[in-house]
Amino acid sequence: MNKAFVKETDRDDDDELPEAQALPSGSRNYMTPQGFQAMRDELAHLMTVERPEVVSIVSWAASNGDRSENGDYLYGKKRLREIDRRMRFLTKRLEIAEVVDPALQPNRDQVFFGATVTYENQDGESHTVTIVGVDEAEPLAGKISWISPVARALIKAREGDTVVLRTPGGIQELDIVEVSYPD
């Protein structure tokens, strides 16, 4: 069928997938030292290990002749695009990163970036979260982004305070049980 009649392009659609949550306009890309180092390590690994391996596979596959049905060549080129896209993303994020060390926080009784907070919701369920950078967030591991609704509700609160969290399901009250920072 002619491409004029279907919504297909010559480009791979997955090249346009977003890498991570966008930062609010005008805000900084806050990161913990551990998150910054993890991103630097990932970038170095991509540059020195993964990309050279894939380049050697693609060059070997290209030397085999017909590239139109050469799976190693086609997959290798696609993987190179993925690696290059991730490297560009990491480079841009690291350039605008502002490293904030939570261990140096002077107001340890108040919730700020890098704090580990234990809170209880209205149902009496206890949750412990650490407020980290956008690129470090892992909600299932208890690491939430500083721009998430929960983190925004918790910021500047103290132990014993009750904060209001607005959710699509309604308003919730969270009681802050403990605030701690790494040593």
**pLDDT at 14 > cutoff 60:** no
Domains 28-99 and 102-180 in one fold: no
The phi-psi region of residue 175 (left if phi > 0; otherwise alpha if psi is between -120 and 50; otherwise beta) is beta
Could you say which of 3.40.50.300, 3.90.226.10, 3.30.70.100, 3.10.50.30 is the CATH number of the domain covering 102-180?
3.10.50.30
Look at residue 4 in the predicted model and tell me its pLDDT: 52
**How many Å from the N-terminal Cα to the C-terminal Cα in the chain?**
64
With CA atoms as reference, report the closest residue to 102 among 11, 158, 2, 180: 180
Domain parsing of the chain, residue ranges: 28-99, 102-180
State the SS3 of 46-110.
HHHHHHHHHHHHHHHHHHCCCCCCCHHHHHHHHHHHHHHHHHHHHHHHHHCEEECCHHHCCCCCE
* Least confident range of 19-28, 61-70, 82-91: 19-28
Instruction: Report yes or no on whether pTM surpasses 0.85.
Output: no
Q: What is the CATH number of domain 28-99?
A: 1.10.287.180
Report the share of the chain in percent with pLDDT over 90: 66
Report the share of the chain in percent with pLDDT over 70: 88
